[in-house]
Amino acid sequence: MSQYRVLIDANDEKGLVHKISTVFVNSDLNILSNSEFVDKDNNKFFMRSVVDGNIDKKELEDALESVLPDSATVRVIEPKKKNIVIMATKELHALGDILIRHESGELEANILAVVSNYDKLESLVSKFDIQYITISHENLERPEHEKKIIDAIDSFDDVDYIVLAKYMRILTPGFVEHYEDKIINIHHSFLPAFIGANPYKQAYDRGVKIIGATSHFVNNNLDEGPIISQEVKNVDHAYGWKDMQRSGRDVEKIVLSRALKLALEDRIFVYANKTVIF
Amino acid sequence: MSQYRVLIDANDEKGLVHKISTVFVNSDLNILSNSEFVDKDNNKFFMRSVVDGNIDKKELEDALESVLPDSATVRVIEPKKKNIVIMATKELHALGDILIRHESGELEANILAVVSNYDKLESLVSKFDIQYITISHENLERPEHEKKIIDAIDSFDDVDYIVLAKYMRILTPGFVEHYEDKIINIHHSFLPAFIGANPYKQAYDRGVKIIGATSHFVNNNLDEGPIISQEVKNVDHAYGWKDMQRSGRDVEKIVLSRALKLALEDRIFVYANKTVIF
Amino acid sequence: MSQYRVLIDANDEKGLVHKISTVFVNSDLNILSNSEFVDKDNNKFFMRSVVDGNIDKKELEDALESVLPDSATVRVIEPKKKNIVIMATKELHALGDILIRHESGELEANILAVVSNYDKLESLVSKFDIQYITISHENLERPEHEKKIIDAIDSFDDVDYIVLAKYMRILTPGFVEHYEDKIINIHHSFLPAFIGANPYKQAYDRGVKIIGATSHFVNNNLDEGPIISQEVKNVDHAYGWKDMQRSGRDVEKIVLSRALKLALEDRIFVYANKTVIF
Amino acid sequence: MSQYRVLIDANDEKGLVHKISTVFVNSDLNILSNSEFVDKDNNKFFMRSVVDGNIDKKELEDALESVLPDSATVRVIEPKKKNIVIMATKELHALGDILIRHESGELEANILAVVSNYDKLESLVSKFDIQYITISHENLERPEHEKKIIDAIDSFDDVDYIVLAKYMRILTPGFVEHYEDKIINIHHSFLPAFIGANPYKQAYDRGVKIIGATSHFVNNNLDEGPIISQEVKNVDHAYGWKDMQRSGRDVEKIVLSRALKLALEDRIFVYANKTVIF
């Protein structure tokens, strides 16, 4: 018996659920859970099912594709640990939260390495027997620096996601394209507010009463890619911007770990620079 | 063309979605939205679909029942305004919130009457041209008092829901049974904490840092019936119990109105003293 | 015995609390509550005390001013109902919430009138025996239209606050200056995100997972004045922009009423385009 | 120049702030921050100031005590790292969160040791060069087991706080008394709901729509001591009790770390089985 996650999107039309459920019945599959969503504005259908039974992955994919319209994308995924590389700079909290979750066995992931432009976090990471790769950006043009990072990452087989755990450098379009839909970032503000540098300082200057953090896929859209998760925290006049920053870290780490978990469990569809999450 | 809400629950078994979607396809129905849930512990399947097409209600019900197992309950509901009676005592906020929403056309409901054991709210209610019925409890045994209320409510045809908008008297099992699964209450605490009288005083005495409110169906279970919605609010040491009460009113009214909306839109399944909400 | 709210701000220096508390002791005043804040970045001291005793307002003000530095602003305020005018357009929820709170006696305010550019809300407002003034903007230049509104508002004595309960027209700098620090607005987004028109549409297009509302004073700063209160609500991919709008209304009305309450209770200091709230 | 945290509580009476601020002025102290609260029901005054200047701790304490009534408790505290011992059982998340915060330098604490009744967490703790003491409870009566723990803890000098990071055994009154007001616990429910064993199972069975966690001091009161902090998280019918448990862990760890931070910064007053937190 195998368990599969089946993710299907297609242009919406009558009868899709019937077609899909017919394949499931004919394949003698048991539906463990099932979520659907139709975006009427864009006439787009999304479905995620978890099924189990005696059929191989390829067979099931073929069976589904044979009944579905050409617009459909079918993914049949066997649940297993995905491979991730984490990128960080100097801050501990978001990386540390992922390391602890990894240690506890909560994450469906193998951490292949942590890549950083500083060696500051090496002592922490090495405690967990995870490879730490320092690639300093000093005296390097951005593309040169990124080339070295890409070489390091691509030395591993099958990297599923790259997690930016407060990696504080802007990525070039080239880097982003190289890992399309694979880079998950945490932005330390309630996007789209405070897109630029030092968002806590911006939030403080604006006198907001709530701060937030946003996890999102990185793409080359101007405003920072499809949002996966957001979370907020009340603040008041007594918070200086460093208090906001300190206090915001708890939100940041929770939101990044939540996004990573959703990605690892294949719960996210990306389209129209947005996400559908089941 | 008619639009229907189709609510089905059944003991779970393989192929239910397929059977249901086959009926939808054969009836040439378009699925506008679709939600499913399987409670594995209790082996129970729940589904709510919104469909439209050219078929009458009875036909669709029959078609679904003919393919589904005996354990299935099928409800095909035409969206239309439901009839509600509101019961209140002296407090304005929860009642007022419903009146304003009703006035704005936001609620799928006709308010047939407001019944109260005091005349305090009459002036407010009559502003909205809604019948106000004062049934004082003074000098009456509880069953006598309730008998009068039942007579008043049952003088209307087809009362779908009775909404307790801070009706501050305990209902007898007889009253509750008479309106089984039809009474929606707001309890001014985060149930199951603080079940008894004056929950804000209890919360204050316990020194909690968060207060809440809970909307639920009323049944004769000891701990107050299936929860529909809950909401909370931070408090601190500076809140006396009356501050908590005042501040809690905003939570109460939002939570009651939210529960009412869910009920009016036929989004709630009740079972095992819990709710499944789509 | 009189009760006063004493609000003091000044450039910070050693001994301010001592000077103020000496005045209180010498005046035989009892401190009922006391809040202080020092903004170190701007070297600014803020204090709000509630005191009671046998002294008149003028005497207490003079005593405080005589010991405090020139930079100090002293306000001694007797708690009493403030006069407010509400401006609205067509939407019911924020206005309705204030009317119900007013009716319940919860607000320390007299509502002098509701001014609108449409007559749509007249039937609601007149239920509450409050004057409704329709001033259509049709065929009028903006300054002409505002001139008529100013005339209507200024026909009342002592208007303390003007509350924009979803008044959907942009105010000219002239109007804003005429009522400096007196206009409280609700913006239907989590400022500073989505400043322009139709923020729910913007939020939907951006694919946010949280929506919000912001109450603020209106001034002629580009980004909409000092924030008083903010509140948020989770949404997901299933929310179209109209669902966000509908769902956001509950946040809007709560946030506007909360800001109004803070203003009526003299709890807000405004400086540097921000607020200090006790 | 030294910085002090001054914490004072006393029966409330006129002039306390004046007396205290006179001492501060006479000692040429600069007030960096100041918070007061009067509990009118219990006629109790609380004040926490942060001051700096040239005076020693003892002198300042004496000066304050000499002007304050007998009911006053005065604590003058020099900010420095406090000594803590953590107790845990098998769960990683709350302990891990504290270890990472400690590693990042965010906590004003030295972790002297982690004491556990299992060796399961030893590998994690030893990564951080912190002593791990396994004291198995097997074949031991509860008092015997606790005696061994007390011996281990008391082998360290000056233990300020004992942090129960999901220590899953009930403590005897003797143990609790031995460390009066020093034990901080996380309870994995929104207290006072679900006090007993397996609160997530209880919450699931009750069908709640919100789960929570509560950090509190442990004393011998029946309902688990003064609450320091609470936090909640929305759940729905799709959460089994293990999903609630998994999801609740994020709330638990944040709430425990928040309570610890408040304690380490001397921000908590305990009285009447409640807390005042500045």
- The amino acid at residue C87 is M
Chain-chain contact of B25 with A14 (C-beta, under 8 angstroms): yes
Q: State pLDDT tens for residues A211-237.
A: 999 999 999 876 689 999 999 999 999
ipTM reported for the complex surpasses 0.90 = yes
pLDDT (0 to 100) of residue D109: 98
Residue by residue, what is the 3-state secondary structure of D34-84?
EEEEEECCCCEEEEEEEEEECCCHHHHHHHHHHHCCCCCEEEEECCCCEEE
Most B-contacting residue of C121, C127, C254, C278 (CB-CB within 10 A), to test interface: C127
- Report all structural domains of chain B as residue ranges with CATH numbers, in order of start: 2-77 (3.30.70.260), 82-277 (3.40.50.170)
pLDDT (0 to 100) of residue D223: 65
pLDDT (0 to 100) of residue C5: 98
**Which positions in chain B touch D201 (Cβ < 8 Å)?**
none
Q: Pick the residue from chain D with its C-alpha nearest to C52.
A: D14
Most D-contacting residue of A34, A50, A100, A130 (CB-CB within 10 A), to test interface: A100
Alpha-carbon distance of B193 to B251, in angstroms, equals 16
Chains in contact with chain D (at least 3 beta-carbon pairs closer than 8 A): A, B, C
Chain-chain contact of C100 with B104 (C-beta, under 8 angstroms): no
Over 70: is that where the pLDDT of C196 sits? yes
Q: State pLDDT tens for residues B195-244.
A: 878 899 999 999 999 999 999 999 987 668 999 999 999 999 999 999 99
Nearest to A254 among D127, D246, D250 (CB): D250
pLDDT (0 to 100) of residue D161: 98
Over 90: is that where the pLDDT of C191 sits? no
Chain-chain contact of B103 with C93 (C-beta, under 8 angstroms): no
The tokens for B218 are 């009323």
pLDDT (0 to 100) of residue D136: 98
Residues 6+ apart with CB under 8 A from A224: A185, A187, A191, A192, A195, A216, A218
Backbone CA torsion sign across A109, A115, A120, A122: positive
Q: Pick the residue from chain A with its C-alpha nearest to C40.
A: A240
pLDDT (0 to 100) of residue A222: 64
3-state secondary structure of D256: helix
Over 90: is that where the pLDDT of C23 sits? yes
Q: What is the pTM of this model?
A: 0.95
Q: Is C242 exposed, middle or buried (0-12, 13-18, 19+ CB in 10 A)?
A: exposed
Q: State pLDDT tens for residues C252-262.
A: 999 999 999 99
The tokens for B185 are 């209450």
Chains in contact with chain C (at least 3 beta-carbon pairs closer than 8 A): A, B, D
pLDDT interval class at B193 (50, 70, 90): confident
Chain-chain contact of C34 with D14 (C-beta, under 8 angstroms): no
Q: How far, in Å, are A75, A241, D32 from residue C40 at the CA level? A: 56, 12, 9
Q: State pLDDT tens for residues B134-149.
A: 999 999 999 999 999 9
CA A88 to chain centre: 15
pLDDT interval class at D178 (50, 70, 90): very high
Q: Pick the residue from chain C with its C-alpha nearest to D37.
A: C33
Over 90: is that where the pLDDT of D221 sits? no
* Neighbouring-strand partners of residue B213: B231
Most D-contacting residue of C31, C233, C234 (CB-CB within 10 A), to test interface: C31
The yes-or-no answer on residue B12 being catalytic is no
CB A100 within 8 A of CB A257: no
* A96-100, C166-170, D70-74, D192-196: least confidently modelled range: D192-196
Residue for token digits 């015995």?
C1
pLDDT interval class at C190 (50, 70, 90): confident
Alpha-carbon distance of B174 to C236, in angstroms, equals 42
Over 90: is that where the pLDDT of D111 sits? yes
pLDDT interval class at D222 (50, 70, 90): low
Task: Using a pLDDT cut of 90, give the percent of chain C over it.
Answer: 91
**Catalytic one of B223, B236, B250, B266:** B223
Mean model confidence pLDDT for chain C:
95
Question: What does chain B look like in DSSP terms, one character per residue?
Answer: -EEEEEEEEEE--TTHHHHHHHHHHHTTPEEEEEEEEEETTTTEEEEEEEEEES--HHHHHHHHHHHS-TT-EEEEE---PEEEEEEE-S--HHHHHHHHHHHTT-SSEEEEEEEESSSTTHHHHHHTT--EEE---TT--HHHHHHHHHHHHHTSS---EEEESS--SPPPHHHHHHTTTTEEEEESSSTTSS-SS-HHHHHHHHT-SEEEEEEEE--SSTT-S-EEEEEEEE--TT--HHHHHHHHHHHHHHHHHHHHHHHHTT-EEEETTEEEE-
pLDDT interval class at B150 (50, 70, 90): very high
pLDDT interval class at C223 (50, 70, 90): low
* D125-129, D184-188, D192-196, D249-253: least confidently modelled range: D192-196
Q: State pLDDT tens for residues A54-74.
A: 999 999 999 999 999 999 999
Nearest Cα neighbor of C30 from D34, D64, D17, D35 is D17
3-state secondary structure of A246: helix
Q: State pLDDT tens for residues C68-78.
A: 999 999 999 99
CA–CA min distance D96, chain A (Å): 6
Helix locations, chain C, DSSP H: 16-26, 57-67, 93-103, 122-127, 142-154, 173-178, 199-206, 241-264
| CB of D252 less than 8 A from some CB of A | no
**Catalytic one of A119, A158, A223, A250:** A223
* Residue D156 backbone phi and psi in degrees, to 5: -90, 145
| CB of D225 less than 8 A from some CB of B | no
Alpha-carbon distance of D137 to A193, in angstroms, equals 53
Q: State pLDDT tens for residues B43-100.
A: 999 999 999 999 999 999 999 999 999 999 999 999 999 999 999 999 999 999 999 9
Residues 6+ apart with CB under 8 A from C204: C239, C240, C241, C244
3-state secondary structure of A171: coil
CA–CA min distance D194, chain B (Å): 8
Averaged pLDDT, A119-144: 96
pLDDT (0 to 100) of residue A223: 65
Over 90: is that where the pLDDT of A111 sits? yes
